[in-house]
């Protein structure tokens, strides 16, 4: 797999990364730990060098899982983790400098490493000036405990203010064919500042794969049960997007998921999606997207068709939506 650069400070990663949240959090049933260790190592063997976790995934267990699984390959991989919540079971935000430092120290131990490759603020904390956050991570970088600074779900103004204090390597935000609001002002800001984009949920939390419809029963404890876009009515209404991906997939001898990922890869050379999975077959399917070439005509056709589709259902409940694009 070809590498891509996130930001202008030389952070090179595989064109597709692996989002690891679902290996220990959010989607029931939680899979067997030994199976996930095997999957993580299989990803490395197939060329994946970029792995995404966070303190609150579990909480704590996901970082520990990656620490064990990736220890034999530590010098070959880039591990991103995040700070910014209070925990336990994380009610509220906390990006005070002392909290950032304590999260970093704990993450280093769980990840079994002496340096965090990419350290994101998980959500912008309105109680802490972003300049203080950027300065604290900058101090950790100078101390050799962190290599690169990232933000998650930050707005364009916040990106500029943070970047002026400590260069931001990457923004992680939701971006896919059914979630495109960042195209208006955030993508131009990223291009202007030389910041990479790491789209999470690039497959619409599984919806864009075509394996989820209005009749799919989501298990108790599945995060998607709380999301307005995953009501049966919304899932039925949004099927036109899956149909679009399926049609293009038939033409390209690819799956809807592969077309959705290939579309993202074709948007900018500094975009690195991190689809998550707990299954080897899905991992291999996702990685196949890196070999799909969408022509300018294909992309124009997809964009034109998608522009005629109004996605139904809010991305998050109102209390969660307030914490994005600040």
Rg (the chain; Cα; Å): 19
Phi, psi dihedral angles at 323 (to 5 degrees): -95, 10
DSSP class of 294: P
Q: Is the dihedral of CA 313, 185, 193, 291 positive or negative?
A: positive
Residue 122 has which token pair? 């998980």
What is the longest distance spanned by two Cα atoms in the chain?
54
If you search the block for the tokens 């077959």, which residue do you land on? Answer: 281
Catalytic residue among 27, 57, 120, 207, which? 57
Q: Decide if 57 is catalytic.
A: yes
Residues near 176 by beta carbon (within 8 Å), at least 6 away in sequence:
199, 201, 202, 203, 204, 208, 260, 264
Provide the b/e sequence for 214-243 (b: ≥16 CB within 10 Å).
eeeebeeebebeebebbeeebbebbeebbe
DSSP string of 277-303, one letter each residue: -S-HHHHHHHHGGGGPPPPHHHHHHHH
The sign one gets for the Cα dihedral 78, 84, 86, 91 is negative
Name every residue whose Cβ is closer than 8 Å to that of residue 258 and which is 6 or more positions away in sequence: 249, 252, 285, 286, 288, 289, 292
Query: How many CB atoms are located within 10 Å of the residue 265 CB?
Result: 22
Q: Which residue has the tokens 């931001």?
A: 168
Strands (E), 175-244: 196-200
Check if the beta carbon of residue 4 is closer than 8 Å to that of residue 269: yes
Q: In 28-121, which ranges are continuous DSSP H helix?
A: 33-45, 61-70, 97-110
Residues belonging to the active site: 57
């Amino acid at each position: 797999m070809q590498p891509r650069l996130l930001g202008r400070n030389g952070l090179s990663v595989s064109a597709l990364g692996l989002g690891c949240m679902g290996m220990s959090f959010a989607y029931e049933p939680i899979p067997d730990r030994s199976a996930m260790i095997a999957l993580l190592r299989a990803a490395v063997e197939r060329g994946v060098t970029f792995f995404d976790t966070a303190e609150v995934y579990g909480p704590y267990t996901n970082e520990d899982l990656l620490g064990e699984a990736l220890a034999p390959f530590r010098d070959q991989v880039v591990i991103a983790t995040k700070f910014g919540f209070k925990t336990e079971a994380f009610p509220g935000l906390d990006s005070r400098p002392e909290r950032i430092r304590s999260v970093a120290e704990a993450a280093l131990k769980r990840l079994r490493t002496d340096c965090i490759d990419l350290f994101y603020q998980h959500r912008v904390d309105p109680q802490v000036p972003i300049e203080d956050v950027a300065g604290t991570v900058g101090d950790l970088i100078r101390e050799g405990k962190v290599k690169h600074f990232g933000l998650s779900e930050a707005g364009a103004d916040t990106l500029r203010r943070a970047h002026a204090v400590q260069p931001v390597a990457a923004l992680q935000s939701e971006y896919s064919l059914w979630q495109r609001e960042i195209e208006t002002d955030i993508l131009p800001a990223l291009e202007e500042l030389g910041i990479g984009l790491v789209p999470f949920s690039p497959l619409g939390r599984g919806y864009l794969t075509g394996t989820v419809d209005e009749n799919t029963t989501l298990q108790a404890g599945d995060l998607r049960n709380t999301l307005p876009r995953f009501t049966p009515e919304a899932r039925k209404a949004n099927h036109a997007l899956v149909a679009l991906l399926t049609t293009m997939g038939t033409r390209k001898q690819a799956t809807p998921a592969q077309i959705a990922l290939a579309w993202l890869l074709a948007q900018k050379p500094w975009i690195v999606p991190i689809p998550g999975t707990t299954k080897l077959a899905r991992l291999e399917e996702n990685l196949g997207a890196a070999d799909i070439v969408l022509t300018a005509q294909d992309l124009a056709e997809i964009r034109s068709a998608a522009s005629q589709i109004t996605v139904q259902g809010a991305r998050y409940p109102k209390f969660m939506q307030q914490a994005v694009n600040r």
